[in-house]
Structure 1
């Protein structure tokens, strides 16, 4: 690890800790209101309205909720695929067909019980919605540090709508970055969609 990368990793740890603490303190009513506002913004976005297939995820803990978003995507006739965490922290993908298609998995996650489609399935989606802790003005996303979504985003064709779901105060001027970090093209927050390029 070179000095630059080491500094980036240390900076990320400090920022992650601050952001996770702020999420734990967020009132439940605010979390619910944010989930509804983000779902509205995404379903109004032309990139999602036009999409036949959408990669998304099941929110956990203090993340902006995705339950309503997932159900509204399915109700709108979208093919929705969700991640399945592999032992090496890579992500496989499987169809979401409703709450009954989910089961508890490792690390407190809910994952689809439908047949997996392979790690490359994310590349076939018209819109890719990902979790994160923050995003910089350049679209660099700060995740939880496992690298799962950076690997998945590396498989997504250039020009695909890639969007991180966040609270408004998690859009920052800059976030610490390392060479492997994959930027996103947009952020969805309760106040709407911000596009980066």
Structure 2
């Protein structure tokens, strides 16, 4: 019997909390080493600032900027009733992140509209897990599910996960937007679907 999304989230977050800082740092460097091969020229990509035990690093964002890549970062907000809204986007400038709701770090204003995601050729999406058909397990708030449908149909939607978080099967719901790829520290870019 397949576990529920809530049970999977709890188990993955517990495992991530047990990963040493050294291992997280080593994996972040490996992820950063894979990125230059994924972007060419003056691309626009959407990325994220990792929090807690999420894979990745601010240094990889700095490296992308130094290569001439335009990096957009998400701005997550809810409406007056607490319902998550589609992500807005802010241009990343090294050293200029500010504290944000939900324990996040984001670019300071001005922000771009949710539709700015359509400018990106590559969208790096935080995930707790992704399966080989592209089903992504996020944290459950729905910010990305409300946003990814606005992306260009040709964009690579890349779930960034630890190697053991690329799994064979996850529970899916009709509103889930499938990832086209996974990015893991050891395997690099893996096609899904």
**What range is the shorter-chain TM-score in?**
over 0.9
Residue 16 of structure 2 is matched in structure 1 by: 23
Contact 2:27 2:56 in 1 (8 A): yes
Q: CA deviation at 1:65?
A: 2.4
**1:100-119 residue pairs with structure 2 within 5 A?**
101-119=96-114
Residue 3 of structure 1 is matched in structure 2 by: none
**1:30-69 residue pairs with structure 2 within 5 A?**
30-45=23-38, 48-50=39-41, 52-69=43-60
Structure 2 unaligned spans of 5+: none
Runs of 4+ in structure 1 off by over 6 angstroms are none
Q: Deviations over 1:105-160 (max 9, x none)?
A: 11111011031011111111111111000000101111000111111111112121
Q: How many residues align?
A: 187
Structure 2 length normalisation: TM-score? 0.92
Please point out which of 148, 152, 158 is paired with 2:143. Answer: 148
**Secondary structure of the corresponding residue to residue 45 of structure 2:** strand
Contact 2:121 2:152 in 1 (8 A): no
**Secondary structure of the corresponding residue to residue 167 of structure 2:** coil
Alpha-carbon distance between aligned partners in 1 of 2:5 and 2:122, rounded to the nearest angstrom: 27
Please point out which of 127, 138, 147 is paired with 2:122. Answer: 127
Structure 1 length normalisation: TM-score? 0.90
Alpha-carbon distance between aligned partners in 1 of 2:116 and 2:128, rounded to the nearest angstrom: 24
Q: CA deviation at 1:51?
A: 5.6
Larger fraction in helix: 1
Alpha-carbon distance between aligned partners in 2 of 1:51 and 1:128, rounded to the nearest angstrom: 15
**RMSD, aligned α-carbons:** 1.6
Q: CA deviation at 1:66?
A: 2.4
**Secondary structure of the corresponding residue to residue 59 of structure 2:** helix
**Secondary structure of the corresponding residue to residue 54 of structure 1:** strand
Contact 2:126 2:138 in 1 (8 A): yes
Contact 1:168 1:190 in 2 (8 A): yes
Residue 190 of structure 2 is matched in structure 1 by: 194
